[in-house]
Amino acid sequence: MIITFTQSQTEIDAHDFIEVTLNLAGDLPANPFVDVEVRGTFALVGEAALAVDGFCDSADGSVHRIRFMPMGAGDYVYTVTYRQGQTFATHHGTFTARDAGHEDSADDRRKLAWEMTMASGYKSNSEYAHIREFFTAFEWQRLKPRPELASGALCLAEPGVRYMVYLPQGGRTTLKPDGRAYHARWFNPRTCDYTNAISNGNVWTAPDDNDWALIVEMQY
């Protein structure tokens, strides 16, 4: 198998995403969502590294991705590994994060934490109890980034089972679950409260222009 690692950029703004894409050619895994492990560590030079999990981004397993959001300016180093059975590959890289003049308010920090989580940048963040409470209420490790399923929003999904959408500025998104009955709720990241969600066709409108998370779960 041939594995090619491609870095999206060499210089980005702090609080933006760096992405490493793994393109596979040859004998692809039978079930890339289960059989493959893509992991990485990212660190500001001189600081402790943060562990990040990657995800499969194609049905045939030929494309995997891993994303990271640097929280501050500086030079970063990273290592990404691919493992599937006896196949193992490692890639090392560097990039620079610029100071983008981001305002570090509590509201900004909350939205950044949700965006990192939705991008599979971190599996948890000890600073944000509401995020932990929301994601530990279900098997969210089974969800994968599926941005194509929801317009204008960040989306994680296990299609046919559960969909989770985050709208940083409220507004609307288009999401079409499969034909089975489902239960939908809005989650308020500021108060940790839930409220029932009702769509207009395939269009879901957040309660206001603050950030909201939408959870849609199939009923069997």
**Mean pLDDT on 146-172:** 83
pLDDT at 126: 42
Q: How sure is the predictor about 88, in pLDDT bands with cuts at 50, 70 and 90?
A: very high
Q: Do 7 and 50 reside in the same domain of the chain?
A: yes
86: pLDDT strictly greater than 90: no
Domain count, the chain: 2
pLDDT at 127: 42
Which tops the pLDDT comparison, 140 or 26?
26
- CATH number of the domain bearing residue 54: 2.60.40.10
Domain boundary among 30, 65, 98: 98
Strands (E), 14-103: 18-25, 37-44, 50-53, 55-56, 63-68, 74-84, 87-98
Q: What share of the chain in percent tops pLDDT 70?
A: 84
Domain boundary among 46, 70, 98: 98
Q: Do 75 and 166 reside in the same domain of the chain?
A: no
* Bridge partners (DSSP) listed for residue 81: 39, 90
pLDDT at 56: 86
Q: Do 67 and 85 reside in the same domain of the chain?
A: yes
Q: Do 147 and 170 reside in the same domain of the chain?
A: yes
Q: Do 18 and 50 reside in the same domain of the chain?
A: yes
Tokens standing for residue 65 = 């991705």
pLDDT in tens, 102-158: 555 556 655 656 665 665 544 444 445 667 677 777 777 677 777 778 877 778 888
pLDDT in tens, 5-21: 999 999 998 877 889 99
Domain boundary among 60, 78, 98: 98
Rounded to the nearest integer, the mean pLDDT of the chain is: 82
DSSP 114-166: HHHHHTTS-S--TT-HHHHHHHTTTTGGG-EE-GGGSTTSEEEEETTTEEEEE
Q: Do 116 and 142 reside in the same domain of the chain?
A: yes
pLDDT at 105: 57
Domain that holds residue 211: 106-218
Q: Do 122 and 209 reside in the same domain of the chain?
A: yes
39: pLDDT strictly greater than 80: yes
163: pLDDT strictly greater than 80: yes
Q: Do 115 and 94 reside in the same domain of the chain?
A: no
